[in-house]
A and B are shown apart, each in its own frame.
Chain A
Amino acid sequence: MSRFTMEEVGWTPRIPPVDAGTATPAQLAALEACPPAQRRSTYFLTLANDPASLGERGALFNTVMYAPRGLPRADREFSTAIVSMANGCVYCTSVHARRFTDLSKQREAMQRVLDEGHAVETDPRRRAIADFSEKLTLTPGAVTAADLAPLRAVGMDDLEVLDLIHSIAMFANANRLMQSLGESTPPDAA
Chain B
Amino acid sequence: MNPNEKPQDLIEDILGIEPGSPLAELRRRRPEALKHAQGAYRELLMPDDPGHVSHVDRAALALRAALREGDMALAARFRALLEAASAQEAIMLAEDLSGAPMEGRLAALLRYADVVAARPEAVTQETIDALSAMGLTPRDIVAVTQLVSFVPYQVRVIAGLRAMMQEKAA
Contact = CB atoms under 8 A, between A and B. Distances in A.
Contacts of B156: 136-137, 140, 165, 168-169, 172
B120 A50 contact: no
B164 A46 contact: no
Contact of A145 (B71, B148, B153, B170): B170
Q: What is the size category of the interface that chain B forms with chain A?
A: 35 or more
B163 A181 contact: no
Interface stretch (A56-64, A94-102, A122-130): A56-64
Contact of B36 (A46, A50, A57, A163): A57
B167 interface: yes
A54 B143 CA distance: 9
Interface in A161-180: 161-166, 168-170, 172-177, 179-180
Contacts, number: 175
A88 B39 contact: no
A59 B32 contact: yes
Interface in B142-170: 142-143, 145-150, 152-164, 166-167, 170
Interface in B26-53: 26-27, 29-30, 32-33, 35-37, 39-40, 42-44, 47-49, 51
Interface string B115-128: 11100110101011
Contacts of A176: 116-117, 120, 145, 148-149, 152
A59 B116 CA distance: 22
Interface string A77-91: 000000000011100
B141 interface: yes
A88 B118 CA distance: 12
B141 A165 contact: no
Interface SS, B side: helix
Given A57-B40, A173-B153, A179 B121 contact: yes
A56 B30 contact: no
A53 B123 CA distance: 21
B160 A168 contact: yes
A144 B70 contact: no
B105 interface: no
B155 to A, nearest CB: 5
Contacts of A55: 39, 43
B142 A47 contact: yes
B69 interface: yes
Contacts of A147: 163
